[in-house]
Structure 1
Amino acid sequence: MTQVIEKTDNIGESHSPSEKTPFWEYFSFSTDHKVIGIQYLVTTFAFYLLGGVLASVIRAELTTPDSDLLPPELYNGLFTMHGTIMIFLWIVPAVTGGFGNYLVPLMIGARDMAFPKLNAIAFWMIPPGGALLMSSFFFGPSSSGWTAYPPLSILTDQHIGQAIWIFSIITLGTSSILAAVNFVVTIWAMRMPGMDLFSMPLFCWAMLATSCLVVVATPVLAGAMILLAFDLLVGTAFFNPTGGGNPVVYQHLFWFYSHPAVYVMVLPVFGIISEVLPPHSRKPIFGYKAIAYSSMVICVLGLLVWAHHMFTSGTPDWLRVFFMVATLLVAVPTGIKVFSWLATLWGGKLRLNSPLLFAIGFISLFVVGGLSGVMLGSVPIDIHVHDTYFVVAHFHYVLFGGSVFGIYSGIYHWFPKMTGRMLNEFWGKVHFALTFVGFNLCFFPMHILGLQGMPRRVAQYDPQFASINIICSVGAFLLAISTIPFVINAAYSWLRGPQAPDNPWDALTLEWTTSSPPIPHNWIGEPVLTTGPYDYGVDEYDEEDELPLIPEPSR
């Protein structure tokens, strides 16, 4: 993992003052990967706020057992929009397009992505895809949930709204495929001289595994959506049981993408956590190769577990056993990562600032989601709690407690690099405390609701579940409030926050060797590899304070 030292005459020139990116460029068809990364992050965060508003309305409805706030049809439409927005317009594009675009070229010493124009096209498919999704709500909202299971999604009076919803998913999926191809080529072919695969930061390994998953699985979802559109609009019977079609085939096609989509959302966050922990604990990452290989193993196993979502769909017993075993096997490479992160923290000089707090929060919450995932991977337990709030609790611990906490950790860590400004640390800790408490108050009691048999996706429920639902709704409102200090902190700091040094965390990965924010082509001259990405406390460092010994520039 030791990187080759490249001698140049301009080792100090990368720290020249940054040329400030004009504000209007963030609204343009820019081919600068850093501008595109920020475009992704800001755009998807706006959709996250919208999805959060919908979640708050849903939880307000669920505060009482009766459907007394929203008509059932409107509730179903809001429910569908919430899930679709959070997955396709927030987590997936934020972790891949946002952090991936900004960081991958910087981390491998490249000037830009392999295909800059294709990169811009991939982003500019997100706004129209989002606009299509929003407009579907006003043409008769899709009420079939984000899974769009037939026959519910095709035997409906809301043909126009459902069709627009389908076309929006195809548009967003196409954007994801274009971006993934770009990442694979960039990581494989554009690493700087002296950087082999095992000298890359672990975030790049995570993005490589994620992109391979997207390229293999997303076209299957696109195909399923096209066939579903034919059934809805043309009258074919691919999935329509009234015409001899098989709706279970749709489930296989949908989950062949949509379970790997969980890893598309989580694998980049694994990479973020692997980058945040070493500089903030002042220790090398534990088990570099094990973490790198485990990302690729998850990539392969993630394609073999989709039918564990279908244990109640008439799946033969022998096939249930296969998918149960494959599901449980995924816990092995995931466990390798978790124990490696804990070993990295163990004995370190921890800086309990906002990036590390959110990273530790991620680990604790993701482990809870992983444990409930192992339970759901067991056929008897899954059949018992299928379509109950136990499942809701599980995937929110994985995707919000996992992905969103990891996104926040990455924002706090790289915000100085992206903007040249420091976030306010006090309000960062307030944000963490409110988010952590609100999240657990909202979603942990849902495990109990699920074990007691409360069904998901419905607005009316048995009054025996009312008291726990009140607790969940209070937690949801607190979680919504927790976003306010973050938004104010980020906006104010970006405009008037204290100037950030080029490397405020004394980190070793290559993006910290250029100015904050980086200049248009990242470096003046060629980037320089002086240490490994995680060589904290080794020969190149002063053992007393573990700060980097920066060589004097050659004159």
Structure 2
Amino acid sequence: MTESSLVPELTTPLPSIWSTNGLLSWIASVDHKQIGIMYLLATLIFFGLGGVEALLLRTQLARPENALLSPEEYNQLFTLHGTTMIFFVVMPMLIGFATYFIPLMIGARDMLFPRLNALSLWLFICGGLLLYFSLLTGSAPNSGWFSYVPLSGKAYNTSQGIDYWILGLFTSGIGTILSGVNFIGTTLSLRAPGMTLRRLPLFVVMSTLNGVLMIGALAIFNSALIMLFLERTLHMGFFNPDKGGDPLLWQHLFWAFGHPEVYIMVLPAFGMISEVIPVFARKPIFGYAFVAASSVAIVLLSFLVWGHHMFAVGLPDTLNIFFALASMMIAVPTGIKIFNWVATLWGGSIHFSTSMLFATAFLILFTIGGLSGVSFAALPVDWQTTDTYYVVAHMHYVLFGGTLFAIFGATYYWFPKMTGRLLSERLGQWHFWLTFVGFNTTFMVQHFLGLMGMPRRVYTYPADMPGWGLLNLVSTAGAYLLAVSVLVFLWNLLTSLRHGALAGDNPWHGWTLEWLTSSPPPIHNFERVPPIHSARPLWDLEHDRALTQIPWTQPQQAVTQPNYAPIVLAVGITFVLWGLAATWLLSLTGGAIIAGALYLWFRGDASHWGVTEEDQIKLPV
């Protein structure tokens, strides 16, 4: 079923009003679909960089006393790897999917703030460029992705790479906060008539709640980054005991951001799984209200558990007990989700497409990662395993076995909607099994390495440590198998874009609004949207004849024309921040660029947009 088969076309075709062409139109685009695609393409590039860094790290550890990397090179690589994968791959990849699909799933024509949406994208990209510019200065960041002080302080680390780490993450963090504002505003303001909050697709529910986490957590982190930068450049004493500061303040601020950050990287993945499993099980999600309510509980509890990352620093017993209990409690809403997904599968007519295989593997691998995470709530276990490879294994089971498996599943699920073509199921099956085997080979053995006492962030180890050499060799072999799986995935993407089977508008017989429009969607998304009476509007249309007699509604939102102001403003902000680490001339240049960008931003007027009177809602951002 398609929109065009159910309603007449408008007298003035909307594609002729809002269509754009050429590469420059992408750079100036404020269309949420093009911005979402650019997010995903940029994260693929960063994924490649982070993957190469991981292979170098694993190759260095493949045998004891290896000399492939020096200690300093190893420190720089694991810092770049962790920072890249968290801030420039997993989190923005989820933002890219949310940017593309939230308006489609709620029946809107675009995000609430289209130009802010574009600004978020370009700030993310510029932040990544600032981070990797440190390589050109000859001093990449080297203090880990959480840059504990005093190790990252000027007294112990004069590397300019730390400054670029701070500035890159600060720039990207501004964009992330803006994305959070946009997700919340779009969902609350632009839903189709009849789409109450209780009828939202679960991916939209969890991406919107994620917006709350993004605003709260990144505000804390950016504040901490400002404090660290001021201490390094102006010798302020936030973390320096000699000046009245406390190095533990950084840990409190970082992990007050860091644990919500885990759920920033997990909640949208939960939403993806909640869309994929019901469609391929041919059953509605079991316990919709409980899945949504448990997500709210996760958001609230995630800000109360940061202290379990600091059990080894000597916190008071009262705080340790509080954080231990909170860490155990947060497993409850996550367990509710696992139960609901399994109950959805139970008795369903399951079709094991590649997307469903990744979703099913997610249930297994994320459960393993979650169970190992709960063990950290027990203080004796945490004290024994802190800073060992047991923590590394846990983190990868949550973020790779969890989030990235969900992302792969969502890619196979939504790729037909984004491109109009199906990914190859044959290559998809190869991709899945290589990824599943390679992932478990790489990271399962790291649990045992951690329990055997191998600390993380060591560039080599003695040959006489029993079992370490063999397990590290196995882990490295698994990492190379993972690299092969990624190459298979990329080949599938490239060949399917050119030669993939035509998908049609709804190849999976999905139930949410994105499957109502064409594949790929037109620039304006919808000319009309149907009446919404449940969280499965397309199922209702197919099975309730009475709904076909109710008039469809037209989205009342102007689609903003392409505008270069967002990218120019992002470049200006980047130059200002770059100058703080390099020369004041760059900051001065950035200020001039910002002034020009703001002129471009506010000079537009809705009168030349070519839209009808009923559509003229001018949005300042």
TM-score range, shorter chain: over 0.9
Structure 1 counterpart of 2:529: 527
1:400-446 residue CA offsets vs partner (Å, 9 max, x unmatched) = 00110011011100000000111100000100000000000000011
1:518-544 residue CA offsets vs partner (Å, 9 max, x unmatched) = 0001012x21146633489889549xx
Structure 2 residue 227 is matched with structure 1 residue 231: no
Structure 2 counterpart of 1:4: none
Q: What is the 5 A alignment of 1:248-267? A: 248-267=248-267
- Give, in angstroms, the shift of residue 317 of structure 1: 0.9
- Matched AA of 2:338: V
Structure 2 counterpart of 1:246: 246
Structure 1 counterpart of 2:31: 32
Query: Does the 8 Å CA contact 2:140/2:159 hold for their aligned counterparts?
Result: no
Aligned residues: 541
Structure 2 counterpart of 1:138: 136
Whole-angstrom CA distance in 2 between matches of 1:436 and 1:25 = 39
- Which of the residues 493, 496, 500 maps onto 2:496? 493
- Matched AA of 2:505: D
Q: 1:414 aligns to what SS in structure 2?
A: helix
- Matched AA of 1:532: S
Whole-angstrom CA distance in 2 between matches of 1:17 and 1:354 = 35
Structure 2 residue 424 is matched with structure 1 residue 450: no
Structure 2 counterpart of 1:470: 473
Report the identity percentage.
46
- Matched AA of 1:101: T
Query: Does the 8 Å CA contact 2:32/2:100 hold for their aligned counterparts?
Result: yes
Q: What is the 5 A alignment of 1:160-239? A: 160-239=160-239
CA spacing shift, 1:496–1:516, aligned 2, 3 Å? same
Structure 2 residue 305 is matched with structure 1 residue 299: no
Structure 1 counterpart of 2:80: 81
Q: 1:304 aligns to what SS in structure 2?
A: coil
Structure 2 counterpart of 1:66: 65
- Give, in angstroms, the shift of residue 245 of structure 1: 2.1
Query: Does the 8 Å CA contact 1:26/1:35 hold for their aligned counterparts?
Result: no
Whole-angstrom CA distance in 1 between matches of 2:128 and 2:402 = 24
- Give, in angstroms, the shift of residue 498 of structure 1: 1.6
- Give, in angstroms, the shift of residue 551 of structure 1: 5.6
Q: What is the 5 A alignment of 1:362-373? A: 362-373=362-373
- Give, in angstroms, the shift of residue 386 of structure 1: 0.5
- Give, in angstroms, the shift of residue 138 of structure 1: 3.1
Structure 2 counterpart of 1:415: 415
Structure 1 counterpart of 2:7: 11
Query: Does the 8 Å CA contact 1:9/1:553 hold for their aligned counterparts?
Result: no
Q: State the Cα RMSD in Å.
A: 2.4
Structure 2 residue 357 is matched with structure 1 residue 357: yes
Structure 2 counterpart of 1:119: 117
1:83-140 residue CA offsets vs partner (Å, 9 max, x unmatched) = 00000000111102x1110110011111110000000000011221111010113321
Structure 2 counterpart of 1:545: none
Q: 1:312 aligns to what SS in structure 2?
A: helix
CA spacing shift, 1:11–1:224, aligned 2, 3 Å? same
Query: Does the 8 Å CA contact 1:151/1:241 hold for their aligned counterparts?
Result: no
Q: 1:467 aligns to what SS in structure 2?
A: helix
Q: Structure 1 length normalisation: TM-score?
A: 0.93
Whole-angstrom CA distance in 2 between matches of 1:255 and 1:185 = 27
Query: Does the 8 Å CA contact 2:272/2:410 hold for their aligned counterparts?
Result: yes
Q: 2:437 aligns to what SS in structure 1?
A: helix
- Matched AA of 2:41: V
1:154-175 residue CA offsets vs partner (Å, 9 max, x unmatched) = 1344442211110001001101
Structure 2 counterpart of 1:103: 101
Whole-angstrom CA distance in 2 between matches of 1:10 and 1:512 = 14
Whole-angstrom CA distance in 1 between matches of 2:20 and 2:435 = 32
Structure 1 counterpart of 2:572: none
Structure 2 residue 513 is matched with structure 1 residue 514: no
- Give, in angstroms, the shift of residue 9 of structure 1: 10
1:357-388 residue CA offsets vs partner (Å, 9 max, x unmatched) = 01011111000000000101211100011100
Query: Does the 8 Å CA contact 1:11/1:528 hold for their aligned counterparts?
Result: no
Q: Which moved more, 1:225-234 or 1:433-442?
A: 225-234
CA spacing shift, 1:444–1:229, aligned 2, 3 Å? same
Whole-angstrom CA distance in 1 between matches of 2:112 and 2:481 = 43
Q: Which moved more, 1:529-538 or 1:410-419?
A: 529-538
Q: Which moved more, 1:51-60 or 1:238-247?
A: 238-247
1:252-302 residue CA offsets vs partner (Å, 9 max, x unmatched) = 001111110000000000000000011111011001000011111100000
- Give, in angstroms, the shift of residue 550 of structure 1: 10
Q: Which moved more, 1:56-65 or 1:19-28?
A: 19-28
Whole-angstrom CA distance in 1 between matches of 2:169 and 2:272 = 27
- Give, in angstroms, the shift of residue 141 of structure 1: 1.4
Q: What is the 5 A alignment of 1:42-53? A: 42-53=41-52
Query: Does the 8 Å CA contact 1:510/1:533 hold for their aligned counterparts?
Result: no
CA spacing shift, 1:108–1:304, aligned 2, 3 Å? same
Query: Does the 8 Å CA contact 1:103/1:511 hold for their aligned counterparts?
Result: yes
Query: Does the 8 Å CA contact 2:15/2:524 hold for their aligned counterparts?
Result: no
- Which of the residues 504, 516, 526 maps onto 2:507? 504
Query: Does the 8 Å CA contact 1:159/1:232 hold for their aligned counterparts?
Result: no
- Matched AA of 2:7: I
CA spacing shift, 1:23–1:277, aligned 2, 3 Å? farther
Query: Does the 8 Å CA contact 1:259/1:305 hold for their aligned counterparts?
Result: yes
- Matched AA of 2:437: V
- Matched AA of 2:334: T
Query: Does the 8 Å CA contact 2:26/2:34 hold for their aligned counterparts?
Result: no
Structure 2 counterpart of 1:3: none
Q: What is the 5 A alignment of 1:288-367? A: 288-367=288-367
Could you say which structure has the larger radius of gyration?
Answer: 2
Structure 1 counterpart of 2:55: 56
Query: Does the 8 Å CA contact 2:195/2:532 hold for their aligned counterparts?
Result: no
- Give, in angstroms, the shift of residue 21 of structure 1: 6.6
Unaligned runs of 5+ in 2: 553-621
Q: 1:259 aligns to what SS in structure 2?
A: helix
Query: Does the 8 Å CA contact 2:14/2:524 hold for their aligned counterparts?
Result: no
Structure 1 counterpart of 2:567: none
CA spacing shift, 1:22–1:365, aligned 2, 3 Å? farther
Query: Does the 8 Å CA contact 1:508/1:532 hold for their aligned counterparts?
Result: no
- Give, in angstroms, the shift of residue 458 of structure 1: 0.7
Unaligned runs of 5+ in 1: 1-6, 543-547
Q: 1:253 aligns to what SS in structure 2?
A: helix
